[in-house]
């Protein structure tokens, strides 16, 4: 009659199996043919948390980061699992200012998981702003233009540091304003 064998103790990998009959008073010893089976691991779901999703434009590529739970316990305990990123569907990290959909997907045969987020690369604001009073109501503003690709520099005024009113719309290359 047929016999059933349950191989619950076999680990992940390729295994060769055969049956051996040791014989009894009616039959002599015999060996079955060898069969090859592959035991695959069912991937465990892991959590992916995206990071580094805001950046200031400086002309260099901006990449997201990821942490995973669980981390990579097999190769480097505490180190996140390998994650592959796409930015608006491309594997190349973006350089230009803008908004990009980021997808981080675990790249490990033993784990599955992904996360989606938004990477925002902002234009840099003017730096080193100085103000010089030139009269009772006049003021001169000077700054360093930190972004040569700016379309405009907007100058705003506030008397309460809460509500601001635009008082000038200057070319993106401007470094001076007289009021």
Is residue 126 within 8 Å of 155, Cβ to Cβ? no
Predicted local confidence at residue 2, as pLDDT: 59
- Beta-strand ranges (E) seen in 93-175 are 98-106, 111-112, 114-122, 127-133, 139-144, 152-157, 165-171
pLDDT at 75: 58
Q: Are 71 and 78 in contact (CB under 8 A)?
A: yes
Report pLDDT for 72: 67
Q: What angle do CA 173, 62, 99 make, to 5 degrees?
A: 70
Instruction: Please tell me the predicted confidence (pLDDT) of residue 7.
Output: 64
* pLDDT recorded at residue 116: 98
Within the chain, which residues score under 50 in pLDDT? 1
Q: Say what the pLDDT of residue 77 is.
A: 67
Q: Is the entire prediction scored with pTM above 0.75?
A: no
CA distances from 41 to 15, 62, 69 (A): 14, 35, 18
């Amino acid at each position: 009659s047929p016999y059933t064998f349950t191989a619950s103790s076999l680990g992940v990998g390729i295994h060769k199996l055969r049956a051996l009959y040791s014989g009894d008073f009616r039959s002599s010893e015999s060996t079955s043919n060898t069969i090859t089976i592959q035991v695959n691991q069912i991937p465990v779901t892991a959590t992916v948390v995206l990071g580094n999703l805001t950046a200031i434009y400086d002309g260099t590529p901006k990449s997201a980061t990821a942490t995973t739970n669980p981390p990579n316990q097999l190769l480097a305990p505490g180190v996140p699992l390998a994650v592959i990123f796409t930015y608006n569907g491309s594997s190349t990290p973006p350089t230009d200012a803008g908004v990009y959909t980021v997808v981080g997907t675990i790249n490990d045969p033993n784990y599955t998981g992904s996360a989606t987020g938004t990477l925002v690369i902002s234009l840099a604001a003017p730096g080193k702003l100085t103000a010089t009073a030139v009269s009772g109501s006049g003021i001169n503003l000077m700054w360093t233009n930190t972004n040569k690709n700016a379309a405009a520099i907007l100058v705003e005024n506030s008397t309460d540091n809460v509500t601001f009113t635009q008082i000038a719309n200057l070319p993106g290359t401007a470094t001076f304003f007289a009021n």
